[in-house]
């Protein structure tokens, strides 16, 4: 695959999810009267841009790996503890446009609006897909149980219909592999229907080196079963707006909670760190998915948008969640943390983010065969 085939889809994807994220901040800032001087997609040198009537500079910059909204008068965009010296620099009218003069709840909403805009984008995309392309509702039947496999030892049989995995109802044949591989427990709990009887099995999956549908090498959990559609018929149903919205919210919630489970499993030493990736891996997968059509590209955009929203809610200084953490301290203490204390937190946050970037970049380079 040529580099251009994945660079262009990646830039389109990252531009969209970053724009939506930053627009969430921008929308609530304007709603509460905060002045916005810059709305940037990307970092570094400006490529092109324009000024709107309110004086905001909308611009695209050279490095398209993020973006920011800069508020009027703020040296630190979201968390300015020492206010007195700052306020003296501005007239009464201009003071009303400063972010730091706003009540805690307004500042919190401005900060939280970015991540939640990403979740909303995912819901809108999934809703669109389910209305116009449909959603799969094909029941999953076990078509084969391999000899001496974990499923064979546990007692699963051919013709069993899979009802749920780890408490999640299997609505589609596509759910089976996803639910098994998203499980963070040592054992996977299956509920199957066998001749009108409901049976429960706890199975410890095997882990194998395999390739995903795009040809990327992955570690995959397997039970030793082959799945087929019940009645040998696929059931792809186009949904009405209300039903599509319901399943879009449900899918967004599933991806969010599954991602959190995976992150917690990493801290417990159970998760597979090789699955973590950075911009290079995201670009590669985006390019691969884009070749499968517009709907597939929209799907990966929704998943990346959820990831961006979720990561930004982590209570790490420099991320939105870090600023929300500062506001929580401010609410409890009755005053902001001192600038010195905040700067100490920011150094810790910077170290954590650079460590994560280094680790994911190493995984990316290993994934493309440079290590």
Could you list the active site residues? 22
Buried b (16+ CB within 10 A) or exposed e, 75-106: ebebbbbeeeebeeeeeeeebebbbbbbeeeb
Which segments of the chain does DSSP mark as H helices, in order? 3-31, 84-87, 92-95, 104-132, 150-154, 175-182, 241-267, 279-290, 294-312, 320-333, 339-367
Count CB neighbours of 118 within 10 A.
27
For residue 22, CA distances in Å to 26, 65, 82, 333 come to: 6, 13, 25, 29
Report the candidate in 107, 103, 56, 43 with the shortest Cα–Cα distance to residue 79: 107
What is the rounded distance in angstroms from the CA atom of residue 94 to the CA atom of residue 172?
A: 56
């Amino acid at each position: 695959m040529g580099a251009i085939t994945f660079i262009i889809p990646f830039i389109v994807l990252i531009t969209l999810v970053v724009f939506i994220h930053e627009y969430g901040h921008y929308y609530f800032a304007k709603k509460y009267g905060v002045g916005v001087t810059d709305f940037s997609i990307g970092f570094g040198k400006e490529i092109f841009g324009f000024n709107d009537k309110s004086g905001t500079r909308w611009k695209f910059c050279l490095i398209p790996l993020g973006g920011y909204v800069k508020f009027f008068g703020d040296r630190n965009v979201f968390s300015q503890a020492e206010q007195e010296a700052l306020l003296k620099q501005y007239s009464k009218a201009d003071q009303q446009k400063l972010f730091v003069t706003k009540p805690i709840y307004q500042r919190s909403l401005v900060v939280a609006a970015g991540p939640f805009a990403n979740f909303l984008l995912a819901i809108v995309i999934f809703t669109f897909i389910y209305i116009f392309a449909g959603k799969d509702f094909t029941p999953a039947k076990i078509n084969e149980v391999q000899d001496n496999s974990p499923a064979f030892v546990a007692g699963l049989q051919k013709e069993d219909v899979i009802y749920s995995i780890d408490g999640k109802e299997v609505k589609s044949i596509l759910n089976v592999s996803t639910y098994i591989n998203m499980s963070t427990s040592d054992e996977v709990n299956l509920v199957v229907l066998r001749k009108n009887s409901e049976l429960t099995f706890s199975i410890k999956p095997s882990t194998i080196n395999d390739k995903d549908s795009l040809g990327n090498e992955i570690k995959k959990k397997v039970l030793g079963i082959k799945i087929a559609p019940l009645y040998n018929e696929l059931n792809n149903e186009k949904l009405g707006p209300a039903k599509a919205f319901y399943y879009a919210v449900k899918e967004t919630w599933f991806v969010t909670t599954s991602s959190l489970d995976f992150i917690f499993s990493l801290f417990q030493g159970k998760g597979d760190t090789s699955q973590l990736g950075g911009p290079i891996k995201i670009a590669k997968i985006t390019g691969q998915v884009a070749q499968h059509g517009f709907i597939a590209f929209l799907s990966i955009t929704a998943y990346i948008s959820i990831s961006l929203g979720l990561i930004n809610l982590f209570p790490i200084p420099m991320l939105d969640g870090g600023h929300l953490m500062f506001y929580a301290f401010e609410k409890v203490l009755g005053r902001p943390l001192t600038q010195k204390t905040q700067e100490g937190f920011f150094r810790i946050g910077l170290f954590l983010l650079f460590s994560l970037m280094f680790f994911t970049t190493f995984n990316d380079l290993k994934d493309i065969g440079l290590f």
